[in-house]
Structure 1
Amino acid sequence: TVTQQHQKGSLRDVGKAMGLSADTINRLSGSLWQYTDEWYEEQRIIEQGLSPDDKHLRKVLELTRAFMGFPRQLGQHTGGFVITRGKLSDLCPIMNARMEDRTCIEWNKDDIDTLGFLKIDVLALGMLTCIRKAFDLAAEHYQLDLTLANIPQDDPAVYDMICEADTIGVFQIESRAQQTMLPRLRPRTFYDLVIEVAIVRPGPIQGDMVHPYLRRRNGEEAVEYPSPELKAILERTKGVPLFQEQAMKIAIVGAGFTPSEADELRRSMATFKVHGMVTKFEEKLISGMMSRGYEKSYAQRVFKQLEGFGSYGFPESHAASFALLVYVSSWLKCFYPDVFACALLNSMPMGFYQPAQIVIDARKHGVEVRPVDVNHSDWDNKLEERSGKYFAMRLGFRQVKGLRADDMQLLIQYRGDGYTHINQLRDAGVPDAAMEQLADADAFRSVHLDRRQALWEVSVKDKPVGMFTGQNNTPEEKDLKLPFMTVQEHVVHDY
């Protein structure tokens, strides 16, 4: 791919070349979003403590605007694969990527499409990993044989939880924006989830589709269709085009586009931020709709909504497949919060929330969370014997920042019936740095040591004395007994 200059990057590059201070560049670049049509008007410059009359600053902003859209650097299209019948190197130039055994085509991905090469995007989805691990845990601890196909559908308890925005960790609807929308949209069916996934996107928001949809859904605004043909296309979404498929059908039925022209419109919507090509269809769409009896104001409103898809509108098929994962992850959280939290933590990094927030949320749902411990934890988080309605969750070593899996495998391998002294970990080959991290994480409770005592024990280590080995002229000192840490000290250390 060819990465282009956007507003922030352009400002930083031009500002640096023109001698602006780093503080000035940071203030200006921090005042706008990365992808925006806004510009540095006089008031915005004043708000940043700068003078709009500064000729040098005005020149920098002028050059920044001219610089936007220029190629900046080459990048690798994440997850993009090209498939050809013959040998690929006979058809296009190939170069080695930085990653071992990885190659890249030296042509732009859009050029590949134009030339008719088959290109598919294969992207990782962390929630699929989480759900697979949750199904495994449910089979092991609850003897449930769960699949994406046999999860009970349209369970009222699941939708009650969703409507309350109790969705921390749930796929797609866990963000603050989604949690704000959920009590307003109040999903009660699977297709409501499809709408929820699609509507909280920059495209529908910038196309002014969100508020009209909510008003019509809540009966606050009448739904009117300018023709039976458009009613057939827009009825499920209350007259508001939310999906790319609807945009294509409107162009064909309402404006006389051919299917190939409608597909070109779809592609333009997907790459609008890069090429700005949607606007070239404006006259054709508006004039086409007017020639078929639609009001100009309605045609202009439709185009504005379609233009919004340039800011990442969803295909309906994409939203539906995501909605399935939304429901499944919500169902798991609703009925098996122990399984869901454990699987989610074992699939990190993913989602919006830190592990500590997932742990707090699990406790809120009645799951006992047990701390990391040298005698009980494995690398992954795991479920232990029941504690009330749900199994208890034991935090794994993966939750301790800085620990290496190989070091913890040594600890687990030589644990046997359990450690009773820190030196036993040292004998097992666990590095001092790892033991210090475990002590700092309060993982020696089963050895009857709190943080302070464990850190002291880790630091007490006989060092080699070379030629003086065997000579003991140092007076004996009694073992130092450190006082236990208070609850307040533990809280401060935890947070």
Structure 2
Amino acid sequence: AGFVKIDFLALGALSQMQDVLQLIEERTGHYIDLSRVDFKDPAVYDTLHKADTVGIFQVESAAQMQTITRIKPVNLTDMAYEVAAVRPGVGANDGVTQFIRRRQGEPWDFDHPLERKALERTLGVILYQDQVNQVAMEVAGFNSLEADQLRRAFRRRNNKTLLAQFWEKFRDKAGERGVPEDIADKIFQKFNGQYMFPESHAFAFGVTAYHMTWLKYYYPLEFFVGIFNQQPMGFYNLETLKEDARRHEVTVLNPDINISVEKCIISSVISGTDSTHEALLVGFLNVKSIGKAQAEAIVEARQYKKFSSVADAMRRTGLKREPIENLVLAGAFDSLTTDRRSALWEVGLRYHPVANGAVNSRKPKSSRNGNAPITPKLERQQRMELPIEQDMADLAPMTPWERMAGEYQTMSLYPEGHLMNHVRPKLSPSVLPSDEIPHLKDGMEVWTAGLVIRRQRPLGKAVFITLEDEFGHTPLIVWPAVYAQYRLVLREPVLLIRGTVSCREGTMNIMVTHAESLQTLKDTPGSKNWR
């Protein structure tokens, strides 16, 4: 019967999927069995063909986005191809390009007919780890143990002598099957020690990627609530996920001191036309200095009565000054105050730390009959509130830029908009937004700008950067010579770029020739940097 190999992986995406399914059931009353969804849904595959895959397990990286628009999967087998293709072991021999071109009709043939059984389904390209074993067994007659030892040998360090021995064995045994030495060498060169997925792994991940795409397409609100609550995970920060949510007509709301809970939730909101719609309400844990204990204190304090003012919230929660101020800057008190600057001023006037550096840090004890809490005598004396009206100043309201800066500072998130909304008016009209760049032709020069959300620098190769603006993403490629010239600038969070449009096989990139830093905010969302 053989052995069954099972991988148990701690994947945040599976927790997200579980959360999303639970949210859907709570909201609609219907339980969704993902094993019974339509796996040939054109709408889902169309979403994948457009590379609308931010937040989608296994297919959200820049490399996957550019590959999936070329492979254009239409079934689960294609999904396995897609997942497997973007792996170092496949790319090492230019396997991705070969597979895609052959899939699109480019003529090809096996190096030897003995490869057919192992490689016919993947058009002569080794996509899966298992195929190394299969080729060795079919072409050279290795038994299963010898084939696996060969595959493992490629991954060992200082393996030249060992590989030379395997090559001689492969050459000789392939020769016994009528394979010329030059053809045997050509086949042997397809093997490498870089990482590849086993076929079963690729299919399992391909199905999961399809499930996540299906959920994002049909239940975007629940999808984004789920992924917000599973951070940090994946390729993108919350700001990028929020922008993607907005593009999928999901409204993201600032936390509310009287409604929010620890995590993000679905909440009803009344629009300007008095109609009600549901939105993603940011949770307290997304605000800096607010941990589980502070979030629980807020929820417990308002259990029987909502907060009526900043002063009321300070008194009943016992939070320290920094968490309260961060909540103000995050917009959590907007429903209770006219302006955040005045609210911060009020916090400063009302905050009186006790000896241990906290204010109201101890939870009030309940009276014997369970009614009003009993406050210790010392705390009663220190918590005596004096009038502050005479000390309140007539302060200018925060500007939109200052409100945005405060939200980035406290949440690394700006629910209302995007940094580039405020930067764009200061730029030349010649600096194009991301949604205009796809209309340019190959070789054209372009200026663009945006927030860096991703950097990837493979050793000794080009640097890949993704810019984000208020309309979408722009992929950049920085060749080593240009990177050496602008290395320090390219570390900055917001960039102004000049480059040349490169259109190749259905993909578009900007080849950077010049880079400048746009000095904007001290606290911008950080990029995800990869090797």
Both proteins in one fold, TM over 0.5: yes
Q: How far apart, CA to CA, are the structure 2 residues paired with 1:488 and 1:335?
A: 35
Structure 1 residue 297 displacement after superposition: 3.6
Partner SS for 1:272: coil
Matched, 1:331 2:331: no
- Stretch of structure 1 that moved more, 422-431 or 211-220: 422-431
Q: How far apart, CA to CA, are the structure 1 residues paired with 2:175 and 2:125?
A: 19
Cα deviation digits, residues 306-343 of structure 1 (max 9, x gap):
21xx1111100111111111001111111111111110
**Partner residue of 2:390 out of 477, 489, 492:** 477
- Which residue of structure 1 lines up, in the alignment, with residue 278 of structure 2? 391
Tell me: CA distance 1:287–1:462, structure 2 relative to 1, closer, same or farther (3 Å): closer
Conservation of the 8 A alpha-carbon contact between 1:336 and 1:390: no
Structure 1 residue 362 displacement after superposition: 0.6
**Partner residue of 1:312 out of 175, 187, 195:** 195
Cα deviation digits, residues 167-198 of structure 1 (max 9, x gap):
00000110011111111111111111101111
Gapped regions of structure 1 (runs ≥ 5): 1-117
Matched, 1:272 2:156: yes
**Partner residue of 1:455 out of 344, 351, 367:** 344
- Which residue of structure 2 lines up, in the alignment, with residue 403 of structure 1? 290
Q: How far apart, CA to CA, are the structure 1 residues paired with 2:94 and 2:281?
A: 47
Q: How far apart, CA to CA, are the structure 1 residues paired with 2:156 and 2:353?
A: 68
Matching residue's letter, 1:361 = D
- Which residue of structure 1 lines up, in the alignment, with residue 244 of structure 2? 361
Tell me: CA distance 1:432–1:152, structure 2 relative to 1, closer, same or farther (3 Å): same
- Stretch of structure 1 that moved more, 249-258 or 448-457: 448-457
- Which residue of structure 1 lines up, in the alignment, with residue 306 of structure 2? 418
Structure 1 residue 214 displacement after superposition: 1.1
**Partner residue of 2:59 out of 170, 173, 181:** 173
Matching residue's letter, 1:327 = Y
Conservation of the 8 A alpha-carbon contact between 2:111 and 2:187: no
Tell me: CA distance 1:183–1:432, structure 2 relative to 1, closer, same or farther (3 Å): same
Matching residue's letter, 2:91 = I
Partner SS for 2:268: strand
Conservation of the 8 A alpha-carbon contact between 1:337 and 1:367: yes
Alignment length, in residue pairs? 374
Matched, 1:341 2:195: no
Conservation of the 8 A alpha-carbon contact between 1:407 and 1:431: no
Q: How far apart, CA to CA, are the structure 1 residues paired with 2:122 and 2:13?
A: 27
- Which residue of structure 2 lines up, in the alignment, with residue 239 of structure 1? 124
Conservation of the 8 A alpha-carbon contact between 1:400 and 1:441: yes
Gapped regions of structure 2 (runs ≥ 5): 356-380, 409-531
Conservation of the 8 A alpha-carbon contact between 2:220 and 2:250: yes
Q: How far apart, CA to CA, are the structure 2 residues paired with 1:268 and 1:144?
A: 51
Tell me: CA distance 1:279–1:413, structure 2 relative to 1, closer, same or farther (3 Å): farther
Partner SS for 1:384: strand
Structure 1 residue 476 displacement after superposition: 8.7
Q: How far apart, CA to CA, are the structure 2 residues paired with 1:396 and 1:352?
A: 21
Conservation of the 8 A alpha-carbon contact between 2:349 and 2:388: no
Conservation of the 8 A alpha-carbon contact between 2:12 and 2:233: yes
- Which residue of structure 1 lines up, in the alignment, with residue 181 of structure 2? 296
Tell me: CA distance 1:486–1:252, structure 2 relative to 1, closer, same or farther (3 Å): same
Q: Write the mapping of 1:10-409 to structure 2, written as runs, cut at 5 A.
A: 122-224=8-110, 226-227=112-113, 229-269=114-154, 271-272=155-156, 278=163, 280-307=165-192, 310-385=193-268, 391-409=278-296
Instruction: Give the alignment's Cα RMSD to 1 decimal.
Output: 3.2
Q: Which structure shows the bigger proportion of residues in helix conformation?
A: 1
Q: How far apart, CA to CA, are the structure 2 residues paired with 1:448 and 1:285?
A: 77
Structure 1 residue 492 displacement after superposition: 4.1
Partner SS for 2:260: coil
Conservation of the 8 A alpha-carbon contact between 1:225 and 1:231: no
Tell me: CA distance 1:423–1:483, structure 2 relative to 1, closer, same or farther (3 Å): same
Partner SS for 2:267: strand
Q: How far apart, CA to CA, are the structure 1 residues paired with 2:307 and 2:354?
A: 28
Tell me: CA distance 1:323–1:266, structure 2 relative to 1, closer, same or farther (3 Å): same
Structure 1 residue 418 displacement after superposition: 1.8
- Which residue of structure 2 lines up, in the alignment, with residue 432 of structure 1? 321
Structure 1 residue 460 displacement after superposition: 1.3
Q: How far apart, CA to CA, are the structure 2 residues paired with 1:278 and 1:182?
A: 34
Matching residue's letter, 1:188 = V
Q: How far apart, CA to CA, are the structure 2 residues paired with 1:465 and 1:196?
A: 60
Structure 1 residue 157 displacement after superposition: 0.6
Conservation of the 8 A alpha-carbon contact between 1:408 and 1:430: no
Matching residue's letter, 1:272 = R
**Partner residue of 1:445 out of 326, 334, 340:** 334
Partner SS for 1:248: helix
Structure 1 residue 212 displacement after superposition: 1.3
Q: How far apart, CA to CA, are the structure 2 residues paired with 1:357 and 1:475?
A: 41
Q: How far apart, CA to CA, are the structure 1 residues paired with 2:233 and 2:24?
A: 21
Partner SS for 1:251: helix
Conservation of the 8 A alpha-carbon contact between 1:370 and 1:394: yes
Q: How far apart, CA to CA, are the structure 1 residues paired with 2:33 and 2:66?
A: 30
Q: How far apart, CA to CA, are the structure 2 residues paired with 1:131 and 1:455?
A: 39
Cα deviation digits, residues 349-399 of structure 1 (max 9, x gap):
110000111111011001111111111211111112378997311111122
Q: How far apart, CA to CA, are the structure 1 residues paired with 2:44 and 2:138?
A: 38
Tell me: CA distance 1:280–1:132, structure 2 relative to 1, closer, same or farther (3 Å): farther
The percentage of counterpart residues that share the same residue type is 35
Conservation of the 8 A alpha-carbon contact between 1:194 and 1:322: yes
Matching residue's letter, 1:182 = I
TM-score, normalised relative to structure 2: 0.65
TM-score, normalised relative to structure 1: 0.69
Matching residue's letter, 1:355 = L
Q: How far apart, CA to CA, are the structure 2 residues paired with 1:465 and 1:242?
A: 65
Conservation of the 8 A alpha-carbon contact between 1:338 and 1:390: no
Cα deviation digits, residues 238-296 of structure 1 (max 9, x gap):
11121122111111111011111112223334x43586755542222233223322243
Q: How far apart, CA to CA, are the structure 2 residues paired with 1:384 and 1:476?
A: 35
- Which residue of structure 2 lines up, in the alignment, with residue 16 of structure 1? none
Conservation of the 8 A alpha-carbon contact between 1:244 and 1:314: yes
Matching residue's letter, 2:76 = F
Q: How far apart, CA to CA, are the structure 2 residues paired with 1:479 and 1:389?
A: 36
Partner SS for 1:153: coil
Conservation of the 8 A alpha-carbon contact between 2:350 and 2:388: no
Conservation of the 8 A alpha-carbon contact between 2:53 and 2:65: yes
